[in-house]
Amino acid sequence: MIRLLKRYRATVAVFLGFSTPLFILYIHGKDQTETSILERTLAKTTAPFQNMMNDGIHFVQGVWGDYISLVGVQTENERLRERVNTLEGQAIENRRLRLENERLVELCEFRRTHSELNAVAAHVVSKDHSPYYRVVRIALDVGSEDDISEGMPVITHRGVVGRIARVTDRFADVMLSVDPRSRIDVEIAARGVSGTLEGRGDSNIYGARFFFLHRGGAIQEHDVVVTSGHDRVFPPGLVVGYVARDEERQTGVYYEYDVVPAVNFATLEEVLVVRSTRPRPPDFDRLP
């Protein structure tokens, strides 16, 4: 039998190879209600490898997808960063405009309440800084073309800034009230004391000293120092600064107090240059 099989093994192989699949096909071609052993065996053989391959493909897809996503994220990130920069710029501009608006409103209100002042508004176009980042000189965008001349007071709604020191056609330099060359006749009305305010010219702080001859009432810290108008330069009643300390010094015949200016020179943007002062009509209501 074995010899016979060996002799006709090719024929047997062809017969079996041809007929077996047909038999399997016949069995599995029927409407099956359950999975056959052969199907289960084949599924068990191939499924793990297919799963492995699917996992591998999904892994590669995931990595690739993430990479593409990251490229997208990076592009979006750059776009959003630009957008944030733009919006931040707009926010800063809006804030600047809001502050400018607030300052201008206050300045207009000041002009309305000081109708006796013939003043022209001006923008600060440059500021000279000291090595300690203090403003020591400012330049305005008004000049002789605007009837500005040297010595004219420069003020804001907060108080005295200084006076015009130099004028060109369209620009003017301002000598600040804290400049050592600056002299302003002032008074502390509440104490009945009048004297002169002189800039200290300190390198690291804004400061001035108020000196006077005759003592009046006791001067206190934070007392308001206002212009007296005696120098015929500054209109009377403008705030110049505040007494820094109730610490009196005596230099020769003069008594002296430190004064801090009312105006923050570092943040100055708009000022008024007083060209002339009209006499204020007497306020009869305030007469006794």
Partner 1 sequence: MQRVLTIALTFMLLVVASPLLHQLGLSFYAPDFGLIAVLYVAAATPLTSGMLVVFIIGLLKDAFALGSPIGLYTHIAVVVFLLARGLSGRMNIRSLVTAILVTFFASIVSSVLFLGLSAVFDRTFDSFDVILRMMLPQAMVTAPFAPILFALFDKADRVVSRKGSRTTLFR
Name the site residues for partner 1 (rule: CB under 8 A). Answer: 9-10, 13-14, 16-18, 20-31, 36, 38-39, 42-43, 45-46, 49-50, 52-54, 57, 61
Nearer to partner 1, 10 or 253 (CB): 10
Q: Who contacts 154 (Cβ-Cβ below 8 Å, separation ≥6)?
A: 122, 140, 160, 161, 162, 163, 164, 174, 271, 272, 273, 274
How far lies 63's CA from each of 55, 56, 60, in Å? 12, 11, 5
What is the smallest separation between the CB atom of 7 and partner 1, expressed in angstroms?
Answer: 12
Q: Which two tokens stand for residue 198?
A: 């002189």
What is the smallest separation between the CB atom of 95 and partner 1, expressed in angstroms?
Answer: 54
Nearer to partner 1, 64 or 132 (CB): 64
Nearer to partner 1, 23 or 132 (CB): 23
Nearer to partner 1, 12 or 84 (CB): 12
What is the smallest separation between the CB atom of 69 and partner 1, expressed in angstroms?
Answer: 18
Q: Measured between alpha carbons, how far is 29 from 74 in angstroms, rounded to an integer?
A: 55
Nearer to partner 1, 52 or 213 (CB): 52
What is the smallest separation between the CB atom of 26 and partner 1, expressed in angstroms?
Answer: 6
Nearer to partner 1, 29 or 131 (CB): 29
What is the smallest separation between the CB atom of 60 and partner 1, expressed in angstroms?
Answer: 9
DSSP string, 95-135: HHHHHHHHHHHHHHHHHHHTTTEEEEEEEEEEEEE-TTS-E
DSSP string, 230-288: TTSSSPTT-EEEEE--S--EEETTEEEEEEEESS-GGG--EEEEEEEEPPPPP-GGG--
Count of CB atoms situated within 10 Å of the CB of 177: 31
What is the smallest separation between the CB atom of 97 and partner 1, expressed in angstroms?
Answer: 57
Q: Measured between alpha carbons, how far is 4 from 43 in angstroms, rounded to an integer?
A: 36
